[in-house]
Structure 1
């Protein structure tokens, strides 16, 4: 699937929903709980999701920073890009004001 910023993706197996913040060019394989993410309304749930829960308001990205997804609805199922798990993006530390 080709991603573009602002696109909403739903999990095929839980209530999780993300918005694409940053996307690479070309087709990518974004999965939640091992199943491909879908555009639009999710299909009927088919079995229990696997993985950690997605946290509302957290940004998930890959190691290179080419993909960034914002969780808008929490749910079960770990996010992955081409089989590689996405991690929660950590905030950059502010400089000391001394």
Structure 2
């Protein structure tokens, strides 16, 4: 098994099995979780090589934020793909939108 990639905000990762690409928005202070897509660990994305494709049956959606179970890790999808994101073997979920305060 390969060593986990150090995660830091702004880091870009790419799937090795589909067109999914993400940017790390928030990384946990302690530990180094393994982010996978489609069951395979993600790899550092090559700069400037955006996967330009239209995926009609995408599971990971462009422009959406995904979080791990305790919300210490957050990623932003920059290219859709058919693989499901996971963190240490647990599926990541769509981040819920924050409710805006009521205006009186």
Q: Please confirm whether the aligned pair reaches a TM-score higher than 0.5, indicating the same fold.
A: yes
Deviations 1:10-54 (CA, angstroms, capped at 9, x unpaired):
00100110000001133211100100000134xxxxxxxxxx611
Q: Paired residue for 2:83?
A: 77
Q: Match for residue 36 of structure 1?
A: 41
| RMSD of aligned residue pairs (Cα, Å) | 1.3
CA distance in 1, matches of 2:45, 2:60: 19
Give me the whole-angstrom Cα distance separating, in 1, the residues matched to 2:45 and 2:62: 19
Structure showing the higher strand proportion among its residues? 1
Residue in structure 1 matched with residue 22 of structure 2 by the alignment? 18
Q: How many equivalent residue pairs?
A: 88
Residue in structure 2 matched with residue 44 of structure 1 by the alignment: none
Unaligned runs of 5+ in 1: 42-51
The reply to whether residue 86 of structure 1 matches residue 74 of structure 2 is no
Decide whether the 8 Å contact of 1:57 with 1:71 is kept in 2.
Answer: yes
What is aligned with 1:49? none
Tell me by how many angstroms 1:63 deviates.
Answer: 2.4
Offset at 1:90?
A: 1.1
TM-score by length of 1: 0.83
